[in-house]
Structure 1
Amino acid sequence: MARTTGSNGEETSKRIDDVALKLFAQKGYAAVSMREIAREVGVQAGALYNYSPNKQDLLARLMVEHMQALLAAWEHERPIGQTPLDALKAFVLFHIRYHVQRPDHVFISYMELRNLEPENFAAVEKLRRQYEFALKDILQRGSDDHQFNIADVHVAAMAILAQLTGVTTWYRAKGRLSQSKIEAIYTQLVCQSVGAQISEEI
């Protein structure tokens, strides 16, 4: 995953990433060419290869860096010493708040997995598993403490992640419900799905 160093190079590299992200999300990876990315960025097509050797490398870099940033953000915000229920609430709020700000990243992270070559897929999947484990750990602790009633931790984690990530497909900042109201509703839904009752009003 090549990058050109230097202030101008870093600015151009970020511009390339931003443009590629937008185009991949709008048109799909297969429909976007390196020439189109270069034209949108405002550089010669040949210059684009100084920053990324091919389109596959660009897609993989976007997805890997998204997951790395997600994991770093959770590591910074994850609760320490809280009960499994409070930790689950914290995870729900973190996931929604982080992802609604990055709908394009979320879209390509799920829809374009199929277009990753095996080595790149493995790198992204490893990072995804680390994030999934963060939720599974909370669910397992809650199950072990009999705070949660879960038939299968893995299935529960996958269902919760799908439910939470789905918010990005329909949420609009100027929609009928505020983000805080949606967060409260989803917190209740997730907690009830694992057999935990919460008292917060929605």
Structure 2
Amino acid sequence: MTVLIERNSADVIRTEAAKLFFERGYDATSLRQVAAASGLKVGSLYNHIDSKEHLLLQIMGGIMDDLMGSIRRAVQTDGDAVDRLRAALAAHLRFHAERAQEVFIGNAELRSLSEDARKVVIEKRHEYELLLQELIEDAGRAGLAEVIDARIHVYSFVAQATHIASWFKPGGRMTLDEIVDVYTQLALRELNIPAVPDTLHVPD
């Protein structure tokens, strides 16, 4: 029971810190503010973090771990290389829309980390990009995609997801499912992969 309580407290701290870092910026947020938002005393934070930078690293590293896990689960399909790539792209896009605040922090606050901490996040990003690149190259090797430069395609797909994170809000003209479908088809079109019939439904 004690372990569960500690884990929940750590999750609350990261969640509240992410909100504050998003709203105020990392530099303008104090640990006292994080503690207050988490319903804790400042001293209690140190049961879960070593420093404010360590908290930022937990958030930024955690978002990459969650993203990687989401994609790995998505590609567990019996389909071909394109089916796996399509599933990965949809998961990639959806994740960025649903976790937009953390995505923003990851992009905006990398400079706030020390060199060693920054290397940890960069390595996680590199691992993720290699996973996407491998999926693209698999589709190319199977003769199912026209790959111009796999790494540049990855950069394009990452930019698309970051774009969604910057503007998507629930309750708009299109549902998240519809938006993910549109962006997935746009991404695959770069590789000259045709849309799946009857999957693209865009409201007037």
* Residue 133 of structure 1, CA deviation: 1.3
* Residue 83 of structure 1, CA deviation: 2.3
What's the counterpart of residue 63 of structure 1?
A: 60
What's the counterpart of residue 150 of structure 2?
A: 153
Q: Do 1:135 and 1:157's aligned partners in 2 also have CA atoms closer than 8 Å?
A: yes
Q: Do 1:25 and 1:104's aligned partners in 2 also have CA atoms closer than 8 Å?
A: yes
What's the counterpart of residue 126 of structure 1?
A: 123
The DSSP-based 3-state class of the residue aligned with 1:166 is helix
Q: Do 1:99 and 1:165's aligned partners in 2 also have CA atoms closer than 8 Å?
A: yes
Paired residues, number: 198
- Determine which of 115, 133, 138 is the counterpart of 2:112: 115
How far, CA to CA, are the matches of 1:110 and 1:26 in structure 2? 14
Question: Which one is further off, 174-183 or 139-148?
Answer: 139-148
Aligned-partner residue type, residue 102 of structure 2? H
Q: When the two structures are superposed, what TM-score results if normalisation uses the length of structure 1?
A: 0.88
Structure 2, unmatched stretches of 5+, are none
Structure 1, unmatched stretches of 5+, are none
* Residue 138 of structure 1, CA deviation: 1.3
What's the counterpart of residue 173 of structure 2?
A: 176
User: Percent of aligned pairs with the same residue?
Assistant: 27
Indicate whether 1:85 and 2:82 are aligned.
Answer: yes
Q: Do 1:21 and 1:104's aligned partners in 2 also have CA atoms closer than 8 Å?
A: yes
How far, CA to CA, are the matches of 1:110 and 1:200 in structure 2? 35
Q: When the two structures are superposed, what TM-score results if normalisation uses the length of structure 2?
A: 0.87
What's the counterpart of residue 15 of structure 1?
A: 12
The DSSP-based 3-state class of the residue aligned with 1:37 is helix
Question: Which one is further off, 38-47 or 90-99?
Answer: 38-47
Aligned-partner residue type, residue 28 of structure 1? G
Aligned-partner residue type, residue 118 of structure 1? E
Q: Do 2:74 and 2:88's aligned partners in 1 also have CA atoms closer than 8 Å?
A: no
